[in-house]
Amino acid sequence: MAKLTVLYEHATGFTLFKVKEFEEIGSELSEVEKSVRDLQRFTKIIELLAFAPFKTSVDALESINSISEGVLPESLQIFLETNVPKVGKLSKVTLGVADGKLGASINEKLGLKIQHTGFVLEILRGIRYHFPSLMKGFAPKLEGIAQLGLGHSYSRAKVKFNVNKVDNMIIHSVSLLDQLDKDLNTYSMRIREWYSYHFPELYKIVPENYLYAKVVKYVGDRKQLTEEKMEGLEEIIMDAGKAAAILSAAKSSMGMDISPVDLTNVLMFTNRVVSLSEYRKSLSEYLKNKMGTVAPNMAALIGEQVGARLISKAGSLTNLAKCPASTVQILGAEKALFRAMKTKTSTPKYGLIYHSTFIGRAGRQFKGRASRFLSNKLSIASRIDAFSDNPCNIFGQKMKQQCEDRLKYFETGEKPPKNVDVMHDALQESLVLQQQNESLNTSVKRKKSKKEKKSKKSKGEEKENGE
């Protein structure tokens, strides 16, 4: 008869429990679910076989990190080899685990038959619920302290060694940028509606939102706009004709008069909108610099904002690098894809990459081909950015030129250069750039060492003189 042993990983160590007559129990899953809450009934199902406590907190953290990644730690392997009951052949012993990846690793190393679904999960739930009672001499307070300490250590390690921590800033920046665009659009429309009661003609003369807010801030009450303020108005608009049109419209405006209190509120709101617009510009510049550092090839190929949106949609640069080109192509058009699959109509040709200039410039009949080609290059660029030790934008620039050549090929039929030749040139250029950077770094280090030696000598001479 096959035997089932269940592995449970606790904050204090590894435990093995023997399940009695698991074939009969497996056929009655509802009975197992009922007995999970009742300790007396649950102890009739399982029996403690072995317990191996962690020696130190560092050992516990290393083991839990390995298990979370689906890797079998050495301490657990020794524990299983020592304590798993050997009934004839190992194939007759079934080991129940909570994680399928860990189970696959155990099966590969030890050859044990693994089960991680069905009633095994219910048994593990019962072990977790009754663990202090199942362990003799185990205090419930100790369990809470161990779980809290290990949880803090594990979370701290994940935050500290998070491979996606750099592109997290890009994700938050582009999300804030999109939110600012929506808010600024709403606020600008509110200023137009509010100030148009006083000066309705300004709306048509200055259609841009940011310029309109700056003009409202400068003009204030239209009756006080004179030729003396024309110079400042021209500096804001950068157009003498529009400034003259604003002055003439202010003199013959159909708008109503505005009280000082109302004007003060309008100007306060306008100041906020202007400051938000200026912050939006600085945030855009920050995103541009950040993309140039984290994903230079994607930024060179498709632009900073579209590249940042792709990273945000995928969750991280590493996740985007793992996506195939077909996924990158329709990233952001998931609703349209599932709707097309449900209604059995044509699937979307592009998602977020539609905002790229390449798709817009391609002819209507070539948009699908252009999006496929661009997504292919994007998947390559994201992998170079994610896994390259010395990131540079040379590959992105070369692939951008390839996209330009492909658009020409669609229109004129002129054959573009071969991909092998282009990538070879890009590789050679990147190697040359890497050598230049290394030589610069060595020269800087030499200069620093010389300065340090000089400073040490001067300090030594000062000490001698003092003595």
Q: Which tens digit of pLDDT belongs to each residue from 157-196?
A: 766 654 545 788 899 999 999 999 999 999 999 999 999 9
CB atoms closer than 10 angstroms to residue 58: 10
Q: What is the average per-residue pLDDT within 346-352?
A: 88
- Cα 313 from Cα 326, distance rounded (Å): 15
Tokens representing 377 are 């290059």
Task: Identify which has the larger pLDDT, 187 or 461.
Answer: 187
How high is the pLDDT of residue 306?
A: 93
How high is the pLDDT of residue 24?
A: 54
How high is the pLDDT of residue 465?
A: 63
How high is the pLDDT of residue 2?
A: 60
SS3 assignment, position 439: helix
Q: Which is nearest to 61 in space by CA: 150, 168, 191, 163? A: 150
The per-residue pLDDT for range 37-50, each reduced to its tens digit, is 777 888 888 888 88
Cα separations (Å) of 427 from 380, 396, 431? 14, 12, 6
Task: Identify which has the larger pLDDT, 310 or 129.
Answer: 310
How high is the pLDDT of residue 156?
A: 75
Task: Identify which has the larger pLDDT, 91 or 218.
Answer: 218
Whether the per-residue pLDDT at 113 is higher than 50: the answer is yes
How high is the pLDDT of residue 28?
A: 59
Tokens representing 334 are 């998931």
- Cα 277 from Cα 274, distance rounded (Å): 5
Decide if 143 contacts 131 (C-beta within 8 A): yes
Decide if 301 contacts 328 (C-beta within 8 A): no
Q: Where are the alpha helices (DSSP H) in 99-229?
A: 100-110, 119-134, 140-160, 165-195, 202-205, 209-219
Tokens representing 278 are 């200026």
Task: Identify which has the larger pLDDT, 447 or 279.
Answer: 279
- Global pTM exceeds 0.75: no
Cα separations (Å) of 296 from 207, 301, 317, 399, 424? 35, 9, 12, 12, 19
Task: Identify which has the larger pLDDT, 399 or 433.
Answer: 399
The percent of residues in the chain predicted with pLDDT above 90, rounded, is 30
Decide if 191 contacts 252 (C-beta within 8 A): no
Tally of CA atoms within 13 A in the half-sphere of 230 that contains its CB: 13
Average pLDDT over all residues of the chain: 85
Residue 77 CB burial class (10 angstroms; 0-12, 13-18, ≥19): middle
Beta-carbon contacts of 181 under 8 Å, excluding residues fewer than 6 positions away, are: 280
- Cα 229 from Cα 244, distance rounded (Å): 11
Longest dimension (CA), the chain: 103
How high is the pLDDT of residue 182?
A: 94
Beta bridge partners of 52: 14
- Cα 293 from Cα 309, distance rounded (Å): 16
Whether the per-residue pLDDT at 27 is higher than 60: the answer is no
Tokens representing 58 are 């560092």
Decide if 107 contacts 114 (C-beta within 8 A): yes
How high is the pLDDT of residue 313?
A: 93
The percent of residues in the chain predicted with pLDDT above 70, rounded, is 89
